[in-house]
Amino acid sequence: MPPRTSTHSRPRIVIVGGNFAGLTAARHLDRRHAVTVIDRSPSFEWLPNIHELLSGVKRPADLRLPLRRLVTRAGHRFVRAEVTGIDVRAGCLGTADGREFEFDACIVAVGGVNDTFGVKGAERHAMPFKSVDDCAAIGRRLTSLVRQSGEQSVVIVGGGLEGVEALGEILRRRGACESLHVCVVESGPRLLSGAPPALDAAVRAHSAACRVRFCTGSPVTAVTRTQVRLSSGERLRSDLTIWTGGVTASPLLRESGLAGKSDRWAPVTSALQSKKFENLFVIGDAAALPRALPKQAYFAMQMGECAAGNARRLLAGRELRAFRPAPKPMLVTFGDLDTFLVRGRSVIASPALAVVKEAVFQATMAQIDPPLDPSALRELKARLRGTARNLALPALASLLRW
């Protein structure tokens, strides 16, 4: 459907979702457009480091920034609400609290939702691993487990990036967690299936001295309050089940007609424009590009910048530009035991690389929220103090011991 001609002095752009992709889009639009960012969460959340909440080296406040401040500073309006439906033909969307917002162009950046693949009991008994709140809750449960007497069992479902990083953080607490047994269950034949096999071997080698078991090639069939059941018939005892198993599309995409019955994610053109509606762009994890990309924060940010430019061009009747992804190496931390830098099929491993991941975190947070007012400056100082206390000083101490 072609874009409607706006009768407003400033064309209206509504952005649904204000995390990596949506916030970046907002920051690349200026006041020539009336931009509204709608998110159900009051905070921007730095998801790539949420595993560190399990060991306590990060606090929830380190990983959150107030969205209203960020959006207002970019010159736009922030609305905290859950979007429940988008009527693209009518140029209007609705929220759970009954409000309606009209738009000339819309950018959808809703990410994904936890996927338990219909495994019986997983929604109820396994703890999800998708947000700051989720991981803070897992951290609290771990603390209460290690305070209990006797042996305790933790099962991590999923041996991908999140599962391996979660294991690393549990092992970072190994002094305090000697009574913990950890089992990582992965349905595929090895850990970190998309990465070179050397990573699987390195993670197993680092875990050899700890009480860790790996069950690969073992899909989970059911989760109960005290057990994880495998397709082999084995029943693993579990006092805490962490579900890092998967991610799927938000139901909003299908309900609003952005994704068809056979699509998981919303199909877009190479210019990130919805294949179903001309005046709508889908970006970040929610988008199915003509050539699939890994669902990574830096691609989400790059898409946000591209979609902002294309929304401007669309409303000005100009030709859209294709999205050109710029891949970056992936940094996988394994607690304080190791960090892997993965680029294509090559891997560099060193605990010292944790400093690089931390520097990316600190620099990007400061770029998103420059310390221009007292509260932003206070929060920046607290993040830097946390890094010094929890990461830099222990690293220095271990170097001195060595």
Ligand X SMILES: Cc1cc2nc3c(=O)[nH]c(=O)nc-3n(C[C@H](O)[C@H](O)[C@H](O)COP(=O)(O)OP(=O)(O)OC[C@H]3O[C@@H](n4cnc5c(N)ncnc54)[C@H](O)[C@@H]3O)c2cc1C
- Biggest distance spanned by C-alpha atoms of the chain: 70
Among candidates 230, 168, 245, 244, which has minimal Cα distance to 199?
A: 168
CA 106 – CA 234 distance, rounded (Å): 49
Among candidates 332, 120, 334, 111, which has minimal Cα distance to 206?
A: 334
Pick one of 11, 13, 17, 88: the residue that binds ligand X (CB under 6 A). Answer: 17
- Residue 238, Cβ density class (10 Å: 0-12 exposed, 13-18 middle, ≥19 buried): buried
Pick one of 6, 41, 143, 224: the residue that binds ligand X (CB under 6 A). Answer: 41
Q: Note whether 6 binds ligand X by CB under 6 A.
A: no
Q: With H, G, I as helix, E, B as strand and everything else as coil, classify residue 156.
A: strand
Among candidates 282, 252, 259, 253, which has minimal Cα distance to 270?
A: 282
Pick one of 14, 15, 21, 183: the residue that binds ligand X (CB under 6 A). Answer: 21
Q: Letter for the amino acid at 121?
A: G
HSE at residue 3, side-chain half, CA atoms within 13 A, is 26
DSSP strand pairing (266-267 vs 287-288): parallel
CA 185 – CA 90 distance, rounded (Å): 47
Q: How far is the CB of 130 from ligand X (least distance, A)?
A: 5
Q: Closer to ligand X at the Cβ: 40 or 141?
A: 40
Structure tokens given for 318: 């100009």
Q: How far is the CB of 327 from ligand X (least distance, A)?
A: 11
Decide if 173 contacts 142 (C-beta within 8 A). yes
Decide if 104 contacts 315 (C-beta within 8 A). yes
Q: Note whether 296 binds ligand X by CB under 6 A.
A: yes
Q: Closer to ligand X at the Cβ: 139 or 284?
A: 284
Pick one of 14, 88, 106, 252: the residue that binds ligand X (CB under 6 A). Answer: 252
Q: Note whether 22 binds ligand X by CB under 6 A.
A: yes
**Interface with ligand X in residues 152-211 (CB under 6 A):** 161-162
Q: How far is the CB of 80 from ligand X (least distance, A)?
A: 9
Sign of the CA dihedral with 281 first, then 311, 17, and 54 last: positive
Q: Note whether 20 binds ligand X by CB under 6 A.
A: yes
Q: Closer to ligand X at the Cβ: 111 or 386?
A: 111
Structure tokens given for 21: 């992709």
Q: How far is the CB of 181 from ligand X (least distance, A)?
A: 23
**Interface with ligand X in residues 261-290 (CB under 6 A):** 284-286
Q: How far is CA 167 from CA 83, 160, 213, 282, in A?
A: 35, 11, 11, 33
Using the contact rule CB under 6 A, the part of the chain among 185-193, 218-226, 297-305, 318-326 near ligand X is 297-305
Q: Closer to ligand X at the Cβ: 129 or 277?
A: 129
Pick one of 192, 300, 354, 365: the residue that binds ligand X (CB under 6 A). Answer: 300
Q: Note whether 138 binds ligand X by CB under 6 A.
A: no
**Interface with ligand X in residues 73-92 (CB under 6 A):** 82-83
Binding mask 97-116 for ligand X (x = CB under 6 A): ------------xxx-----
For ligand X, the binding residues (CB under 6 A) are: 16-22, 38-41, 47-48, 50-51, 82-83, 109-111, 129-130, 161-162, 250, 252, 284-286, 295-298, 300
